[in-house]
Amino acid sequence: MSIASSWSLPFLRTLFKPQKPLLNLFYRDAISTSATTVTTRQRSDNPKAPAKHSYFGKWLKLANRQTEGLKQGQVFIVGAGPGDAELLTLKAFRLLQQADVVLFDALVSEDILALIPSKVVKEYVGKRCKKHSFTQDAICKRVVELASNGHTVVRLKGGDPALFARTCEETDALTKANIPFAIVPGITAASGVSAYTGIPLTDRRCAQSVSFMTAHFKDVDQWPEMAPMAQNVLKQTMVVYMGLSRLEGLCKGLIHHNVPTTWPVAAIENATSPEQRVITGVLADIHSKVEAANLTGPTLLIFGKVVESRQQVNTLLLHSSKHAATI
């Protein structure tokens, strides 16, 4: 965990310390899974005790009926951001403190996982290229199962849930099961990469727009349509998620569709983390440079003239204890 993260963690945990409810009218069952630990909330009041006042008795009955509905559980689909724990939103942090279970992806950093209280059950449901530990169907079923058992579930996804996170498949399953859910945005990888590398996503001198695309599809054999991609690359910035394994093919396809071999490209591994690496080149040589650097971590690709507009940002300022002490 970064120095700034360690400084801010006690403050954030104090800020979002859960408050005891006025009346604890229900409890949640222990998680009936292979998880090793879980915290259960015990009943502290006897809801069957006679009310001393008729109005209070009516209110108590109404509250009990409402809590019966809450036993179904709820799900928060939360964006964890690009990696740096201090880029996590305050709402996301609060929900992690209040969750019963957190289901997290492979792209969620260790620094962010360290923010989750020990009483909260953490389950890994990650998927990486050629290393799928869980199918998407299995993840959807698990989320529904936990929420149906009355638990508050945080489905923690790297980056932003709205971008290439397969969120719709999980929300469809929740909707069919009549389970309430909410979505909490996170900083997407492209924004994090831009800030921590100094490569702008737009520059009015060369790129008035930006497009996000994924290099991987539900059909693993499908490829992006190279002709439209080549036309877009010449007019705007193109950011490709999950494109490392297809970098060579993408470059050859763009060159085949008349994009100059000297067109700028950047590959950024482990963005916003202390292990971040930036490899820049052109269509003709970026693949060989990436191979020589042996990039293996999560990598984002940026195609476009904005790579030549790179700003000389000093990321040490973002992790400086001196800076942290002043905020």
Instruction: Give 205: exposed, middle or buried? Use CB within 10 Å, 0-12, 13-18, 19+.
Output: exposed
The CATH class of the 3-187 domain is: alpha beta
- Report the percent of the chain where pLDDT is more than 70: 74
Active site residue 127: yes
Could you tell me the two tokens for 150?
A: 């009355």
Please identify which of the residues 71, 127, 141, 305 carries the catalytic annotation: 127
Residues 216-233: pLDDT tens digits?
777 777 888 999 999 999
Please identify which of the residues 61, 71, 84, 105 carries the catalytic annotation: 105
The pLDDT score that the predictor gives to residue 35 is 46
**Whether pTM exceeds 0.75:** yes
CA Rg, the chain, in Å? 24
| Phi, psi (deg, nearest 5) at residue 300 | -110, 140
Instruction: Give 67: exposed, middle or buried? Use CB within 10 Å, 0-12, 13-18, 19+.
Output: middle
Residues of the chain with pLDDT under 70: 1-71, 128-132, 320-327
Residues 230-254: pLDDT tens digits?
999 999 999 999 999 999 999 999 9
Residues 303-326: pLDDT tens digits?
999 999 999 999 999 876 544 333
Report domain extents, the chain.
3-187, 190-309
Q: Regarding the domain delimited by 190-309, which CATH topology (the fold level of the hierarchy) does it fall under?
A: 3.30.950
Contact in structure between 266 and 241 (CB atoms under 8 Å): no
Task: Please choose, from the candidates 23, 26, 21, 20, the residue with its C-alpha nearest in 3D space to the C-alpha of residue 56.
Answer: 23
